[in-house]
Each structure stands twice: as C-alpha cells, then as structure tokens.
A and B are shown apart, each in its own frame.
Chain A
Amino acid sequence: MTISRLLLGAAAIAVSAGVASAESHLSETSDMRIALSNNYAGNSWRQAMLQSWEEVAGKAVENGVVAAADAYTTSENQATEQAAQIQNLILQGYDAIVLNAASPTALNGAVRAACDAGVVVVSFDGVVTEPCAWRIAVDFQQMGREQVEYLATRLPDGGNLLEIRGLAGVFVDDEIHAGIQAGVEANPQFEIVGSVHGDWAQDVAQKAVAGILPSLPEIDGVVTQGGDGYGAAQAFEAAGRDMPIIVLGNRQDEMKWWAEMRDESGYETLSLSIAPGVATLAFWVSQQILAGAEVPKDLTVPFLKVTQDTLDETLAATPEGSVANVLYSQEDAQKVIADAKEAM
C-alpha cells in the first residue's frame, strides 16, 4: 500500500517533471477553466466544430491540463443573447472565454467587461474587433490568391477561368473574390471569362454554371469558394465539355468525386478550406495565454489543404455529407503563435 503510493507519487513527479521541462517557462493551468461561447449550431460545420471541441478539450480536462472546458451555445443566434451569455460566463468565474461571435462589433462591450474582470478572451472564425481580445482570423483573401497560384503551377501558359462566388453581400464572398482578383492581376496569363453566384451550395452552383456555360469559351480552370465544386463538375459533365481543373473546398462529396475522377483519368486538383477544428486551435491558444505565453493579438488560421497525396486518407476520415476536419494539438498552437511572432 505504502509502496504503491510511493510509486504513484514518484510517477506523478516524473510526469510533472516531464511536462515542466516541455513547457519550461510556462506556468500550470490545471486549476483553470475555459468556456466556449458559441452563437449558432444549426449547420454541419458548427456541429463538427462542437464535436471537435468536445473531443480535444474533453481530453485536455481528462489529462488535467485544464480544470474545465465547457461549451455554451446561445438559444438564438443574436448578439444581445451572446453578450448576456458572456457576462454570465464572467460571473461563473471562467479564466478564459473562447468565442465564435455573432457580430464582430456588437459584443465589444461584454468582451471589454470580461477583459476588465481579468478573463482572457480568444475569438475565432467570427472574430471581435475589441482590442483587448485575441483574434484567430481566417485570411480569406489568401484563400482566393492561392487558388490562382495553384492554377499557375498547373497551367503555366494560363487560360480562361470561371469564377464561382458565394452568397452576394456577405463579407466572406467579397474577401475571397478580392483574393482571386489579386491572384489574376499577379498572373496576367489568366483571364476570368465568367462569374456566377453559387451560394456555397452544390445545387445552386450546378444550376448557375449550367446556365452560363453555353455562352463561354473553353474553360481551363474553375476557382471556387467551397461547397460549390461538385455542382460545377456536374454542370460541365452534363454539358459534355472537357473537365477543367476545379479547385475544391474540402466537402466530402467533392473529394469523393475527385477520387473517382482520379481513378478514372488521373485527374489532379487542389482542395482547400477552413477546418471546423479551428475551435480546438483557439482552445489551445487560450490555454497557452493562461499559461503565461506571450501571444500576439492577431493570429491566422492555417488552411486545411487536401492534395493528391492526402486525398485518400482525408476522404476516409470525413463522414458522409460533412467537411474535412483537423484537430489541433498544443504543439500546433505553439507553432501558430511562433509563426505570428516571427511575422511581427
């Protein structure tokens, strides 16, 4: 009994020593509590996001990295509801709040109150503009540029591009579009010969592309915003045109189609989007801040890219009707933080 206790104690010391050496200058966070404040859970991306949180943050609690990591979702997708929710979380004594915000600005008062109460606030995906909060933002412009850059490596001589845009009037659509424009300006061998709105939905994209195709010359590449690639492919196939290089957006149906095309005719392309697991990155970033790490206020989420080499494993890991996901680890967060520090 005493011996086994001694052994346990020794093991515990050894483990904590190992952890301590790994995070030499960081302090302990095992008694700290982190909350996720989420404004909406009504689509597959958000569901995957909450599941990712459960998985990663739940394990962190089990391993004693933090004391609690509870997820809260407002009953309605409204900024006033979420502001009240944040104020409740302050009262509940959480040390950090990880936030996917309903509005970039309307929560600033509540976020400020949290900062004033000494709570660390890390916003991601839906970020807030309040300067005291950390932001893990998505560089949507980069997402647009990278598509054109990838096409430039595949088609050095350039060619005609078809652009499928998202939902008109939404910030994300403008950003990705601006990135694509910048990419085309940098690579003048490409010309955008047509542009349609696919609303990030396969059926809408298919109808829109089918409608514009008869009026277009030969298309060499299709730049997209995610969720629209499969529909575009269907439209090209139905019209009996040559299949262009369609840049995809990590949806399961898109990747399935890609794998089939590859097996059939050696089709090659690239797929990129934001993984719902970004919530877990935000979790680890907040843990790092609590541990005393110096973290720049603005961080950028790396895209999840699926290439020819990783297609099979990603497709196998993605449930039907869902989107490719990645769960981030503590090391990933440390790397993102280090990269951001370098960029400063």
Chain B
Amino acid sequence: MGQFLSRHRILLPVFSLAVLLAATFYMQPRAMSYFGINLLFNLAVPIALATVAQMMIMMVNDIDLSLGTFVSLVACVTATFLNDSPLLGVLILAALILTYAGMGAVIHALDLPAIVVTLGMSFVWGGLALFVLPSPGGTSPGWLRALMTVKPPLMPMAVVASILIALVTHFLIIRSGIGTVLRGVGGNARSVARAGWSVVRLKALAYGLSGLFGVLSGMALVGLTTSADANIALRYTLLSIAGVILGGGEFIGGKVSPVGAVIGALTLALAASFLSFMRLSPDWQIGAQGAILILVLTARLIFARRENATG
C-alpha cells in the first residue's frame, strides 16, 4: 500500500479532498448542487492559480514570499488600467511578468537567497499597489466578470477552471520537454548546466511562468470580487505554499505536482468552509486549519517512511 501510494503520490491529495468534500456535503447538503459547488469553490480558482505560481518557484528550489502582494498589485492594475485603457493595462501586466523573470535571473546570477529577495520585493509590490489604488475601488473589466461568472453546462465554472488549470500545467511541467528540464534545475542544477542548458535562463523562465500565473490569479480574483483593494490577496503567500505542499510537492528537489497543487488549493479553501459550517469559533479556526494541514502531512510522511523502509 505504501509503495502504491508513493508511486502515485497524487492519490493522497485526492483522498484528502474527497474526504473533506464528503464531510462538507454531510454537514451542509445544500452545497451539493451546481450552485452550491460553485459558491464553495469559485474563490479557490485564484488561490489555485497562485498555488501554481508558487509551485513554479518551488520547482527550482526557491520560495516566493511576495506572491500575495504581487497578486494584490495585479488585482489593482486589473481593476484600474486594464479596465480604463486595456492596452496600457496589458503592457503593465506584461512588464510585471518580465520583472518576475528578471528577478529569477538576478537571484541566480548573484546567488542571492530567494527568500530575502522576494520578501524585499513584497514591499515594492505592496507600495506600488497602494500607489495604483490608494483607496479600495476600481472596476473589473466586463469581459473578465463575464468569464468568471459564466455558467457552463454540466459543471460549474469553478470546477471547469480547476480542471483546465490542472491539465494545462500538467502538460507544461510534467509532459513537455522544457518542463522536465525545469524540474531538473530543482533536482540537480549542476548536471542541467553540464548538459548545456543555461540555468540563468531556465530560472528566469520558471520565475516568468510564476509571474504569468500570478497575473492570472489577480485577474481571476478581480473577476470574482468586481473590484480591488491594495491588501486583497495578502493571504495568498502562505496559502499558496501550503497548497503546494498539501498537493504532494516538496520544498527541494524539483518534486512538484501541478494537479496536486490545484487539489491542494481546493482542499485549503474547502477546509475553511467546512470549519465555518461546523460553527467553530473563529478563535479556533486558524488552529483547526493548521491541524488539518498537519494531519495530511503526517499521513504523507508515514507513507514516505514506509517506502524508504521497504526500499
């Protein structure tokens, strides 16, 4: 069983989500509907995108502490520039993605600790967000709002979007050649360099992809909330890291799972709703959320140990 699970490391996240979902439906049968599932999960879509963004960074053995403020900044740009003058908005967002790529290149070239650089950048993003949108407001572009509230047949938007994100990133990271090389940077950067790849470029690419998904996350968020706030997504930094780990990713070694990351994000969002349905006092909710996290990680660790023991 241990070997089976470790070979299919995606099973544990899927199992956690299924158990939590069953418990939620038991507590709140009303949630078991097209409308209910959409309400449960639609705010998880930007979290899933942010988690994928964080995964891109963790894939190359770094960690991004600026993601929450970056997504907030994107949300502010989306609600202002992208709505008022779309061309300028697109240019700004493209520049933000390039900045992310540049950040990756600099971190590698100067051998800086990513944790410090991104922490510093979080203040830059936060300041810029306040500059763009000093007081809460702005409007979501109409097409974005329509996209995030679309009602596809059979499955609610939140589910369709999650599947789409998981599939696209799975092919990009797991199946494609460049994805394999990128994971190789996390696994053993030196052998990737010996094989003739430029690690600086690869890191820039990983960070650039992270920036891209960060931008998508901020845009999705504004599509849901209809307007922005400079502090709107601060929670995403930690949520995204937890989501990656919950989904079977590792901090080092380039071991990541895009499908797992999306499931991890959904699990985190669902855990909060589940605790709210349980009418747990808010004083206990953060603790309980942490307990769920520790529970899942413990299960993973036990299986990983067994795998090592049995060889």
Contacts and interface: CB of A to CB of B under 8 A. Distances in A.
Interface of A: 41, 70, 72-76, 78-81, 83-85, 87-88, 90-93, 103-110, 112-113, 117, 129-130, 171
Given A88-B277, A108-B227, A113-B39, A75 B286 contact: yes
Contacts of B225: 79-80, 83, 105-110
B273 interface: yes
Nearest to B233: A80
Contacts of B276: 72, 85, 88
A306 to B, nearest CB: 31
How many chain B residues sit at the interface, stated as a range, is 35 or more
A171 B35 CA distance: 37
A80 B235 contact: yes
Interface string B4-34: 0000000000000000000000001011000
A81 B272 contact: yes
Interface in B184-231: 221, 224-229, 231
Given A87-B43, A105-B138, A72 B234 contact: no
B229 A106 contact: yes
21 contacts: A74-B282, A75-B282, A75-B289, A76-B286, A78-B234, A80-B232, A80-B235, A83-B224, A84-B272, A85-B276, A88-B40, A91-B39, A104-B137, A105-B137, A105-B138, A106-B232, A108-B225, A109-B224, A109-B226, A110-B225, A129-B137
B86 interface: no
Contacts, number: 95
Given A80-B235, A88-B276, A106 B39 contact: no
Contact of B40 (A73, A85, A87): A87
A104 B79 CA distance: 14
A265 to B, nearest CB: 44
A73 B282 contact: yes
Contacts of A109: 224-226
B228 to A, nearest CB: 7
Contacts of B231: 78-79, 103
Contacts of A106: 136, 225, 227-229, 232
Nearest to A86: B39
- Pick the most buried of A84, A106, A107: most chain B CB atoms within 10 A of its CB: A106
Nearest to B236: A80
B31 to A, nearest CB: 5
A204 to B, nearest CB: 23
Given A80-B233, A83-B225, A105-B138, A91 B40 contact: yes
Contacts of B99: none
Contacts of B273: 84, 87-88, 91
B279 interface: yes
B102 interface: no
B127 interface: no
Contacts of B269: 84
Contacts of B35: 117
Interface in B81-98: none
Nearest to B269: A84
Interface string B29-62: 0110001100110110000000000000000000
B137 to A, nearest CB: 5
A-B pairs, 3 with minimum CB distance: A105-B227, A75-B285, A106-B229
A67 to B, nearest CB: 15
Contact of B43 (A41, A84, A91, A105): A84
B279 A70 contact: yes
B310 interface: no
A171 B135 CA distance: 8
A81 B221 CA distance: 12
B92 to A, nearest CB: 20
Contacts of A105: 136-138, 225-229
B137 A87 contact: no
A103 B40 contact: no
Contacts of A88: 39-40, 273, 276-277
A70 B282 CA distance: 13
Contacts of B279: 70
Given A72-B282, A80-B221, A109-B226, A93 B30 contact: yes
Contacts of A85: 276
Interface in B263-311: 269, 272-273, 276-277, 279, 282-283, 285-286, 289
Contact of B235 (A78, A129, A130): A78
Given A72-B282, A76-B235, A105-B136, A83 B43 contact: yes
Interface in B219-265: 221, 224-229, 231-236
Nearest to A78: B235
Contacts of A80: 43, 221, 225, 232-233, 235-236
Nearest to A171: B135
A112 B28 contact: no
B30 A91 contact: yes
A91 to B, nearest CB: 5
B30 A92 contact: yes
Contact of A108 (B226, B233, B272): B226
